[in-house]
Structure 1
Amino acid sequence: MKKSEAYTFSIGVLAVADTWLTATVFPVPVWVTFIAWASFFVLGAGRAGFVKSVASNLAGAVISSLTLLAIATTSGSALAVAILVGVGSAAMVQASKIKLLDVLPAIVWGFASTVGTTVATGKPITTIGLSNPGLVAAAALITGAAFGFASEVLGNALAFKHEHKLG
């Protein structure tokens, strides 16, 4: 099977598995898993892409969670929220100076996924326990990277290698 078809099959089948899993057994936002899955491939795939993607996405999730916690201590005025989001955004840029986190968009994806999970669940970042939206987003980000890695492994296993023989 050609590599593009092998990846089409592996990603399609694993997207079914991811969607089913997140809808039944492991209730995390499927859209966050897909963001992290894409992040895995953008960051180079393989073990290095997995590590870099997870680290960057989780750094964004941590910065977002801290930003949301800071917002929770304010009156919630538009100016206060805007200033704190600006501080969180600046923190993401500074974090990208670290070699492991040097792809800023991957940090932003983790930040945005955490804010989105907070909004989608309707739970504040101050929620105690496993339903904390920061923890839910982090679990989804790691799950998405794992699906990315699995789809690459399966896709590569299904792809045949062309051997060029000189006659």
Structure 2
Amino acid sequence: MKKPEAYTVSIGVLAVVDTWLTGTIFPVPVWVTFIAWASFFVLGGGNAGFVKSVASNLTGLVISSLTLLGIATMTTTPFGIAVAVGIGSALMVQASKIRLLDVLPAIVWGFASTVGTTVASGRPITTAGIGNPALVAAAALVTGALFGFASEKLGDALSFKRTHQLS
């Protein structure tokens, strides 16, 4: 099968698995797994893309968590929240100076996924235990990267390589 078709099958089938898993036995936001899945491919795929994607996404998650913690403990005014987000945004840019984290959007995806998970769950960042939105988002981000890796491997296995035959 040609590579585009192989990836179509691979990603389509694994999207079913991901959606079913997150909707039943592993309740993390499926949209976060899809963001991390896309991040894996944007960062080049393979082992290096997996490591870079997870590192970048989780860096954004940590910066977001610190930003949300600052908001939760220091301010609830719109201006205070805006300043905290500005500081978090500046930290993301600084983090992208590190070679492993040099694709800024991948850091931003981790940041946004954490904020989104916090809002969607209705749980503050200060929630103790397994329901903490940062832990939930982290699990979803790593899961998405794993689905990216698996879909790439399966897509490659399903595709054929043209060989030149001599007459």
Which range, TM-score by smaller chain? over 0.9
Matches of 1:16 and 1:74, distance apart in 2 = 42
Deviations 1:11-49, CA, capped at 9 Å, x for gaps: 000000000000001000000000000000000000000
Letter in 2 for 1:53: S
Matching residue of 1:126:
126
Which residue of 1 is the match for residue 160 of structure 2?
160
SS at match of 2:68: helix
Task: Give the C-alpha shift of residue 74 in structure 1.
Answer: 2.3
1:2 partner amino acid: K
Matching residue's letter, 1:41: F
Q: Normalising by structure 1, what TM-score?
A: 0.99
- Cα drift, residue 128 of structure 1: 0.3
Identical-pair percentage: 77
Residue 30 of structure 2 corresponds to: 30
What is aligned with 1:65? Answer: 65
Q: Distance in 1 between matches of 2:90 and 2:35?
A: 22
AA at the equivalent of 1:73: T
AA in 1 matched with 2:156 = N
Counterpart residue number, 1:20:
20
Moved more, 12-21 or 68-77: 68-77
CA distance, structure 1, for counterparts of residue 160 and residue 86 of structure 2: 49
Distance, in Å, in 2 between the alignment partners of 1:119 and 1:109 is 15
Distance in 2, matches of 1:148 and 1:85, equals: 29
Q: How many residues align?
A: 167
| Counterpart-to-counterpart distance in 1, 2:165 and 2:101 | 43
Deviation by residue 1:129-154 (Cα, 9 ceiling, x = unmatched) = 01000010010000000000000000
Q: Aligned letter for 2:115? A: V
What value does the CA root-mean-square deviation take over the aligned residues? Answer: 0.5
1:75-127 deviation line (CA, Å, top 9, x unaligned): 30000000000000000000000000000000000000000000000000000
Residue aligning to 1:98: 98
Corresponding position of 2:4: 4
> 2-side partners of 1:166 and 1:45: how far apart?
33
Report whether the alignment pairs 1:109 with 2:109: yes
Q: Which residue of 2 aligns with 1:51?
A: 51
- The runs of 5 or more residues in structure 2 that have no matched partner are none
Give the equivalent residue in structure 2 for 1:138.
138
Secondary structure in 1 aligned to 2:162? coil
The 1-side partners of 2:46 and 2:36 are apart by 14
Q: What is the rounded CA distance, in whole Å, between the counterparts of 1:33 and 1:127 in structure 2? A: 21
Alpha-carbon distance between aligned partners in 1 of 2:73 and 2:120, rounded to the nearest angstrom: 21
Alignment match, 2:149:
149
- Counterpart of 1:77 in structure 2 is 77
